[in-house]
Amino acid sequence: MRLFGLVNPKQRLSPYEIGVVSFAFLLAATLFYLDTFTDIQSALATLYVITLLLSAETLTERGTLLLAGVCISLSALSYVAGHGLQGDLAAALRLTVAIAAMVITCLLIIRNQRARLALIKFNTDLQSSEERYRTIFEQSRVALWERDYSQVRALLVKLRENGVSDLQAYARNNPDFIADCIACIPTVAANAAALELLGHVDARNVSSMRRYIAQDDATFLELMVAIFNRESSFEGKGSIITSDGTTRLVLLTVGFPEDVANFDRVIVGMFDITEREMAQKALFEAQAELALASRAATVGALSASLAHELNQPLGALVVNAQTLQRWLDRDPPDLAAVSRSAERIVRDSQRASDIIQSTRSMLSERTPVLESVSLADLVSETQMLMESELAKNRIAFDTSETPGITAVSAVRIELQQVMINLFTNAVQAMAATPEQHRRISVTIELAECQSVSIKVHDSGPGLSPEVLKNLFKPFCTTKATGLGMGLAICRSMLEARGGTLTADNHAEGGALFQMTVPIEAVHE
């Protein structure tokens, strides 16, 4: 009942309040009667303040103002009724005193009412804030504790005052220290998530954390050190033992209050990170295994690469050694031919050694030696290296170069390896091609982006769509004894220096491989 905003807003007035207000109005009426119809020569009207005071708690500010107005009007009315408009000085003074008393009382009541309302509002806000905090505390999925750290803080302060400066050392020398500290940290409250974390325990069983903190848990001591060092917060990873004896890894966060008096209600948060830590551990293990596997794969790839690349010079060595033997076996021995074969043996041995060297430098990431290489010279040198192979298979070999091509800066042995691979593949691909049609054509021309292109076209069967798709992937081979590493190695070798290697079928038949070599090599 609001009564036009005159009465305090609450559900209903209590009988006591109704009695008090009724009495106040009765008093006002009695005063009015006495003041108007009797001859009492005193400032009776002053007593209207009692009416105001009695109604103060029940009426609103507006109600109080109205009542004060009514009381002042009644006093004025009594004055006019008793003394007429002329009046006498004494009566007028009494009226003035009474009105002043009523005005002052009214102002004091209003001030009081405002202070009271402010206090009520403050209390209501405080209460709803507390309720909000409680709701968050209770419903949070993070395990939260309210712990009383005041005793343990006092203990630590005392130790400091007694000259302890290194708490870790003190704890080592006093084996009971940790247990003593735990014992003087009672739990004030714990939320549902906290009870769940400890293994769905009852709230009554967590008044002390003694049985839940692992004996060897260094984090608790670190927490004590943080309080000892007057830090403002603490964060650390620890382990707790749940009611069924399992160990859970937790991330612990504690914010210490600025006001020492509030150490009796410190909020402690715990996040269960057991699964995360396990996953991380598994990840580290998997990574270690992967590193091992990839080392094994590197060794495997290296051996495959070496086996592949050394095959050619070693094969040539054997052929040349056999040839040398034959020249020696002649009667008389052809020493000039022997010397030529010996030179070839030296050359092939040197190449084998260079291949090993270059593979090692690739692995050890040593800066390779760049030289100025004329690609036309390199093609003819490679053709000479393979001359017995080409002749044996009756393969015609031609090279054309657009004039004005400058030398490139490259690692010579790498480019030669690529060429040997491309030529050997071409030779092998033409095994079924009629002898008179076997041909390898090499074209050297300027390409885009400051590079030179070397195209190798053969007259073999070309590349099937399936092979074309996987050509540069390791272990892609159609040969019974092939490794399928050659083209993969060639491409990565060229790309490492800023070049490219692509393959397609030529419009006139046969496979067409194109390598590009930048004029200025790129350093990795």
Scanning 212-220, 320-328, 391-399, 483-491 for contacts with ligand ADP by CB under 6 A, the matching segment is 483-491
- Whether 459 and 510 have beta carbons less than 8 Å apart is answered as yes
Choice between 49 and 355, CB closer to ligand ADP: 355
The binder of ligand ADP chosen from 238, 486, 499, 518 (CB under 6 A): 486
Scanning 248-256, 258-266, 362-370, 471-479 for contacts with ligand ADP by CB under 6 A, the matching segment is 471-479
In sign, the C-alpha dihedral spanning 405, 406, 407, 410 is: negative
Amino acid occupying residue 89: L
In whole angstroms, how close is the CB of 434 to ligand ADP at the nearest point?
A: 16
Residues in region 171-200 near ligand ADP by CB under 6 A: none
Instruction: Please list, in sequence order, all residues whose beta carbon lies within 8 angstroms of the beta carbon of residue 355, skipping any fewer than 6 positions away.
Output: 306, 309, 310, 313, 413, 417
Choice between 114 and 479, CB closer to ligand ADP: 479
In whole angstroms, how close is the CB of 512 to ligand ADP at the nearest point?
A: 9
The binder of ligand ADP chosen from 214, 314, 467, 519 (CB under 6 A): 467
In whole angstroms, how close is the CB of 352 to ligand ADP at the nearest point?
A: 18
The binder of ligand ADP chosen from 82, 186, 482, 509 (CB under 6 A): 482
How far is Cα 194 from Cα 243, in angstroms, rounded to an integer?
Answer: 12
Tokens of 99: 């009105």
Choice between 58 and 421, CB closer to ligand ADP: 421
Measured CA distances, 329 to 102, 323, 326, 345, 452 (Å): 147, 10, 5, 18, 47
Q: Does 152 bind ligand ADP (CB under 6 A)?
A: no
Q: Does 304 bind ligand ADP (CB under 6 A)?
A: no
- Whether 471 and 488 have beta carbons less than 8 Å apart is answered as no
Choice between 35 and 309, CB closer to ligand ADP: 309
Q: Does 483 bind ligand ADP (CB under 6 A)?
A: yes
Choice between 504 and 524, CB closer to ligand ADP: 504
In whole angstroms, how close is the CB of 438 to ligand ADP at the nearest point?
A: 12
Q: Does 477 bind ligand ADP (CB under 6 A)?
A: yes
Residue from 98, 89, 86 nearest 35 by CA: 98
Scanning 200-208, 223-231, 311-319, 476-484 for contacts with ligand ADP by CB under 6 A, the matching segment is 476-484
How far is Cα 292 from Cα 298, in angstroms, rounded to an integer?
Answer: 10
Scanning 126-134, 162-170, 294-302, 475-483 for contacts with ligand ADP by CB under 6 A, the matching segment is 475-483
Scanning 36-44, 194-202, 411-419, 479-487 for contacts with ligand ADP by CB under 6 A, the matching segment is 479-487
The DSSP bridge pattern shows strands 371-373 and 408-410 to be antiparallel
Instruction: Please list, in sequence order, all residues whose beta carbon lies within 8 angstroms of the beta carbon of residue 451, skipping any fewer than 6 positions away.
Output: 408, 498, 499, 516, 517, 518, 519
Give the angle subtended at the CA of 82 by the CAs of 80 and 84, to the nearest 5°. 45
* Bridge partners, residue 397, by sequence: 440
How far is Cα 415 from Cα 524, in angstroms, rounded to an integer?
Answer: 17
Choice between 35 and 414, CB closer to ligand ADP: 414
Q: Does 454 bind ligand ADP (CB under 6 A)?
A: no
Residue by residue, DSSP assigns 427-484 as: HHHGGGS-GGG-EEEEEEEEETTTEEEEEEEE-S----HHHHHHTTSTT---STT--S
Q: Does 494 bind ligand ADP (CB under 6 A)?
A: no
Q: Does 421 bind ligand ADP (CB under 6 A)?
A: yes
Binding-site ranges for ligand ADP (CB under 6 A): 421, 425-426, 429, 458, 460, 463, 467, 471, 476-479, 482-488, 511
